[in-house]
Amino acid sequence: MIMVSVSRRNDMKRVFRILCSAVFAVILLFAGAMAYSTAKGYMRWYFRVNGYITVDGHTTTGYMHANTQRTLLMVTRTDGSRPESYLVYLRDESVVLDCGEWHPVRLLPFPVGHVSPPCSAFTVDSEKVVDAPVPKTLVRERRSVEFLTASGKRVKAEW
């Protein structure tokens, strides 16, 4: 009887080691894929930017994220019933895109793949957009962006 329980315990240890090794291999594979796609430019990382968002001159609890090249800014305003995010191009183009229902987590960095970005005309359902930006009203300055929305609100992000 003692031999059976020792053998069963050894079998459980072996299964546990195999399971841990498999989980570790999956984590390594995932990390390698993320590193490869980031290095090849297939994925952009967005990190939290310190600053503040104002809507019609009133400071909100909104937040911002920028990609590592600082060419794209994700502005999330929180003055409504649910967060509303906009993707603002900081170079060359005067483009502001609405992200629809999607919005980033406030504090965490996040990756965005180039195949299906969350804020494109192909992935955003126009019926679920609450307050769309008016792209022609975009004003970019050295440390701020400002634009109007369809409801007439003036959104300004400063960092």
- How high does pLDDT run on average in the chain? 86
Say if residue 151 is exposed, middle or buried (CB neighbours under 10 Å; 0-12, 13-18, 19+).
exposed
pLDDT digits (tens, 9 = 90+) for 21-46: 999 999 998 888 878 877 887 888 89
Strand partners, 154: 148
Q: For residue 95, what are the contacts with CB-CB under 8 A and spacing of at least 6?
A: 87, 88, 89, 135, 138
pTM of the model: 0.76
Please say if the pLDDT value at position 139 is more than 90.
Answer: yes
